[in-house]
Structure 1
């Protein structure tokens, strides 16, 4: 991490923020920007910013833009928390580090764009190479996979999962925020990566997610904090 840069970790929910707050030796009072809650946290002597964005693409994009406006374009944005496992072989508890991100809700094929491509934007957004390598090196005893993450406004259950596997066969996992943050990072020239732990396998309802969200949040936070300590 370059001198003067700040790591901004963005999570959607309180459950995903909890393991970062539990590990912090110091936590600042929250600053609210829009609907996002910003806190400074000190972990192992290093200061980071934890932003709880709220759920969904617009909340995530708004929070990312607010973080860049507040902390500058030298920030490193990290989307952390949970995801639904989509690809064959992905298991609950696996951690996925993004090499690319795609908006699965974008469909402008009528105008010659690829499925998942927002007009005027890339087909996919690359995760930062240095951040990816640091995250992969912080795996410890966890199973960490490098690959593509998709994001959209719908919570992915079994029926939608089949559609996404057909349309985006390269995706390892899906969430509701990371690709939106990636687009904001792309627009501002900011380094970004997503690291999401699998909480469910896109079951018919949300029961599996609710059972494993705390464990997924813990795994994602462990990898993120391990990587930030090494940068």
Structure 2
């Protein structure tokens, strides 16, 4: 794999901060739509950090803007936090996506699979070479490889119970990655999601608020360690 610019997409400032803390140089922010773009140098390599805002449309818009600005030949990475869904997933784990699904898509009336947007794949595959680099860079982190779902709802206990029934293979859920994956698929761009588990879909947002910072830090640590090897 040849060295490429990495475009790292995060939703929130809390998810951007650990990347900025690791950088030796950071450019002034540039706005493209709602998204904020910053160039940064980490381990003598230049990357772009894009803060999209929360949600599927914000994530997709930021990804499309990044690909238009930097070209399709980039590593596109969705980083930050996620809710743990599968049995055995714990707060503190980091999930590397092998596939991604839009949990809000339901066109079964027309013969599509649950989670499949009409005309799109049933799921979007994470780039296999990026996956291998991330798994090799895990160090002391607990890293799990598997399926990630995304939708517009913050997943509390009631929502999680339905998702486990509908999508029993999902390890984790967030609010952006599958939308970014669809944009990457449409452009033929290399994509992966790397999310630290901040909560286990608790009844309210308390667990998320307690652990979003350390979940984002673990995601950033794994992403930057892997990118340094590419």
TM norm structure 2: 0.99
Find the aligned partners of 1:230 and 1:195 in 2 and give their Cα distance: 16
SS of residue matched to 2:228: helix
Could you say which residue in structure 1 is the equivalent of 2:129?
Answer: 130
Could you say which residue in structure 1 is the equivalent of 2:2?
Answer: 2
Find the aligned partners of 2:226 and 2:52 in 1 and give their Cα distance: 21
Find the aligned partners of 2:22 and 2:188 in 1 and give their Cα distance: 30
4+ runs of 1 displaced by more than 2 Å?
A: none
**1:110-160: per-residue Cα shift (whole Å, max 9, x none)?**
000000000000000000000001111111111000000000000000000
Could you say which residue in structure 2 is the equivalent of 1:181?
Answer: 180
Shift of 1:15: 0.2
Superposition RMSD on alpha carbons, in Å?
0.6
Find the aligned partners of 1:123 and 1:66 in 2 and give their Cα distance: 25
Find the aligned partners of 2:86 and 2:15 in 1 and give their Cα distance: 23
SS of residue matched to 1:230: coil
Unaligned runs of 5+ in 2: none
Find the aligned partners of 1:226 and 1:6 in 2 and give their Cα distance: 15
Find the aligned partners of 1:147 and 1:44 in 2 and give their Cα distance: 28
Could you say which residue in structure 2 is the equivalent of 1:96?
Answer: 95
Could you say which residue in structure 1 is the equivalent of 2:39?
Answer: 40
Unaligned runs of 5+ in 1: none
SS of residue matched to 1:155: coil
SS of residue matched to 2:8: strand
TM norm structure 1: 0.99
Shift of 1:44: 1.3
Shift of 1:6: 1.1
How many residues are aligned here?
230
Could you say which residue in structure 2 is the equivalent of 1:230?
Answer: 229
Find the aligned partners of 1:175 and 1:216 in 2 and give their Cα distance: 13
SS of residue matched to 1:19: helix
